[in-house]
Structure 1
Amino acid sequence: MRVLMIGAGGVGDAAARTAVERDYFERWVVADYDLGRAEATVAAASARRPGETRFVAAQVDASSADAVSALAREHGATHVFNAVDPRFVMPIFEGALAAGADYLDMAMSLSQRHPERPHELTGVKLGDEQFAAASQWESAGRLALVGIGVEPGLSDVFARYASDHLFSEIDELGTRDGANLTVHDEHGNEIFAPGFSIWTVIEECLNPPVVWEKGRGWYTTPPFSEGEIFDFPEGIGPVECVNVEHEEVLLMPRFLDAKKVTFKYGLGEQMIGILRALHELGLDSTQPVDVKGVSVSPRDVVAACLPDPATIGPQMTGKTCAGLWVTGTGKDGQPRATYLYHVVDNEVSMREYGAQCVVWQTAINPVVALELLAKGTWRASGVLGPEAFDAKPFLDLLAAPKPEGYGSAWGLEDREPMREPIATAQRPETD
């Protein structure tokens, strides 16, 4: 296996630091628009293993399918791993196919809201552009494994595991994400510093959330709707979670049988307030505006003004939890409610990988998936989500102690069914 990873930001850097411990690939090319950043990732990853020579750096324009294809051919890449913002999904996706390589990403092609009824009806959904090309990938005998980060990704693996091993009938597949992370400045004051790309956070949280129900299909709600208190494990505790647009809702119904699919994110009052303010000021827009003769995207300015998520690990404390809340009927015919989850402590990820927990938790999953593909444990062609593959080998490899596995345990809790969601009508809707 020869991997071309595009993106040396927080997630790409963490993926390289994790992959260097494994032996399943012969070359790992780290490509970024900023060659210096790619070189820094190669140096950091290689330093973790004496004598390491498989990592090389390259420069690439991720907005150009031709550039991606040319670089993949130059290095004989068998797999193109997309580790950049979702706005670059389609050129990288198309460039990989043109080069005859398989493809993996952690976020799918972008959505476009319904022009007249955005909080009721879907427009162009996440991943629609990629699934429209499924026949081309199938004809070429190539695989595009989409949404294989943590959410989407590990949450979708959990869904397949629950469907195969825990439930005979599923009422709801509900991704629930929460954390108790804080970031402090050099004086010990808590500061606002998202653990993930603010560009992506804005895209996810201000777009109309999507819900799927059997018999109704996909529909949308207002941002931050249908709040509920969810109790996260391992000391994180109760967090209010709200509807957010996310790929799981677009992936799971394509491959699994459930009555309802949702995604709710524990944003917190501060994040919700900031996102609302950005929207009201127009700073969430990606359309360039003229500033004293310079054309700039407001959202890019916001991202540039905040700390790089890749750099805040030493200032961060706490844990992050990604998981799936499943309700329905168990294999024994009795009602069942189960939370499958993965918790990462920032102190541990920083100590072991030099990566803050949010980006590392995202990065480990495509690295695991690539190993399963390299070994032939997972194999297919077309455009597929993680639900299309047997979940047990993935979860076994993720949790198995090193060096056989990745030494990152996941958990399962059976609980009582949740109470009704709390009301959030006191919050004004976002257009």
Structure 2
Amino acid sequence: MRMLVLGAGLQGSACAYDLLQNAEVTEVRLCDLHVQHVADFLAPYSGERLIPTVLDVRDRDGVSALMRESDAVMSAIPYYFNLDLATHAAEAGVHFCDLGGNTEIVFAQKKLDGRARERGVTIVPDCGLAPGMVNILAQHGIDQMDSVDDVRIFVGGLPQNPEPPLNYQIVYSLEGVLDYYTTVSWVIRDGKRAQVAALSEAEPVQFDAPVGELEAFHTAGGLSTMASRYEGKIRTMEYKTLRYPGHARIMEAIRDLGLLELEPVDVKGVKVAPRDVAVAAMAPRLTKPGGRDLVVLRVTVKGKKNGQPKTVGWELIDHYDEERGISAMMRATGYSLSITGQMQARGEIQPPGVHTPDECVPPAKYIAELRKRGVEISEIA
């Protein structure tokens, strides 16, 4: 299999590493604007099966040419490129998956379904951790019920050694995090889709030691299209982000003071976006080189089976990979993208068309693939 990975950042590098662990993958082309130096854990493969390639994803001809040489394409770049990339993939007749994170773009990608079916390929947006893994698990629970009352998803990337005031470290794009903190979240309540404010309705959630008590609050994007898909079919469905207690209140104050706004303001005669200043000021303080992280996840589904109440659920607590220097967030997100792309290349995701992971990824096989990589999702009562 010849695989194309777009984006050589944290998640793209983890995706490439995972692909290279499969002997059936003969070539991984890792593309970015700047790929002079690949991550340390990729260095042994560079120049052999790994081919770092300078590419601007806005170069349609260049992207399409590389796509036509590949069995599957995995996008680990910002969501706003994914509609164009999915379009190119459908035209090139190649399988495509991405990390997604923006539901409106996913709905736009859905409109490519006819072309993807004509070309006999699958396009699967939202294939990371959240959205991605959590949606596959939620669907796995839904499939075990005759009727579903309640779906709750909790997930977060956290530092193992939190430092005040935010008790947080950057585990993926800070810009992406702030998008989720400032965009309304879709939920299902009383069977109807509804919007709730990001950072709202914080509640305590308990995990076994050493994690302990966390707080969960609404953020955007995690449910992806599931809120629309299950409106009128499920009474309650919600997604919340996990952080250490007190985080939401601080970020809510920062947001409400206007410091996360995208609209430029005048500062001594210069127009600047408050969000740009916030990112520039916060990023150095929240970047912890070598900082160990963990990913915490819990998905529960409640309903009825054969007329009797039934609850199923899954939990994950994954830690930084000390041996390889790969973060827990990279494992959960980048490996998830890789697994999906490999399933597509092997023809294990059917039928052709555009599908979100909850609609097409076989959950038992997906969980088994994660377990092979040491990402242990455990079933809870």
Q: Distance in 2 between matches of 1:162 and 1:413?
A: 11
Residue aligned with 1:248, SS: coil
Match of 2:176 among 167, 192, 200: 200
Q: Distance in 2 between matches of 1:307 and 1:282?
A: 14
Residue aligned with 1:14, SS: helix
Q: Match for residue 302 of structure 2?
A: 327
Match of 2:152 among 168, 174, 178: 174
Residue aligned with 1:361, SS: helix
Q: Evaluate the alpha carbon distance shift between residue 265 and residue 32 of structure 1 in structure 2; reply closer, same or farther with a 3 A threshold.
A: same
Please list, as runs of the form range in 1=range in 2, the aligned pairs for 1:68-217 lying within 5 A after superposition: 68-73=63-68, 76-108=69-101, 110=102, 125=104, 127-165=106-144, 167-178=145-156, 181-182=159-160, 193-213=169-189, 215-216=191-192
Larger displacement relative to structure 2 (168-177 or 231-240):
231-240
Q: Distance in 2 between matches of 1:359 and 1:410?
A: 16
Q: Match for residue 12 of structure 2?
A: 12
Contact 2:151–2:302 at 8 Å: present in 1 too? yes
Can you give the 5+ residue segments of structure 1 that lack an aligned partner in the other structure? 112-124, 400-404, 415-431
Q: Does 1:273 align with 2:250?
A: yes
TM-score, normalisation: structure 1: 0.77
Q: What CA RMSD, in Å, does the superposition of the two structures yield over aligned residues?
A: 3.3
1:210 CA displacement: 0.7
Q: Evaluate the alpha carbon distance shift between residue 70 and residue 271 of structure 1 in structure 2; reply closer, same or farther with a 3 A threshold.
A: farther
Q: Distance in 2 between matches of 1:128 and 1:309?
A: 36
1:277 CA displacement: 1.5
Q: Match for residue 402 of structure 1?
A: none
Q: Match for residue 54 of structure 2?
A: 59
Larger displacement relative to structure 2 (64-73 or 389-398):
64-73
Q: Distance in 2 between matches of 1:309 and 1:328?
A: 44
Q: Match for residue 45 of structure 1?
A: 42
Match of 1:223 among 198, 202, 225: 198
Q: Distance in 1 between matches of 2:98 and 2:380?
A: 29
Match of 2:336 among 362, 365, 380: 365
Q: Evaluate the alpha carbon distance shift between residue 207 and residue 13 of structure 1 in structure 2; reply closer, same or farther with a 3 A threshold.
A: same
Give a deviation string over 1:184-233, Cα, whole Å, max 9, x none.
79xx99975322211111111210111135752x3211222233222234
Amino acid at match of 1:143: T
Q: Distance in 2 between matches of 1:62 and 1:289?
A: 31
1:143 CA displacement: 1.0
Residue aligned with 1:352, SS: coil
1:289 CA displacement: 7.2
Q: Evaluate the alpha carbon distance shift between residue 310 and residue 85 of structure 1 in structure 2; reply closer, same or farther with a 3 A threshold.
A: farther
Amino acid at match of 1:176: F
1:237 CA displacement: 2.3
Q: Evaluate the alpha carbon distance shift between residue 228 and residue 283 of structure 1 in structure 2; reply closer, same or farther with a 3 A threshold.
A: closer
Q: Distance in 2 between matches of 1:71 and 1:34?
A: 17
Residue aligned with 1:8, SS: coil
Q: Match for residue 238 of structure 1?
A: 213
Q: Does 1:397 align with 2:369?
A: yes
Matched positions, count: 378
1:264 CA displacement: 0.8
Residue aligned with 1:35, SS: coil
Q: Distance in 2 between matches of 1:157 and 1:10?
A: 22
Amino acid at match of 2:337: P
Q: Evaluate the alpha carbon distance shift between residue 277 and residue 255 of structure 1 in structure 2; reply closer, same or farther with a 3 A threshold.
A: closer
TM-score, normalisation: structure 2: 0.86
1:68 CA displacement: 2.5
Q: Evaluate the alpha carbon distance shift between residue 24 and residue 59 of structure 1 in structure 2; reply closer, same or farther with a 3 A threshold.
A: same
Larger displacement relative to structure 2 (359-368 or 245-254):
245-254
1:12 CA displacement: 1.1
Percentage of matched positions with identical amino acids:
20
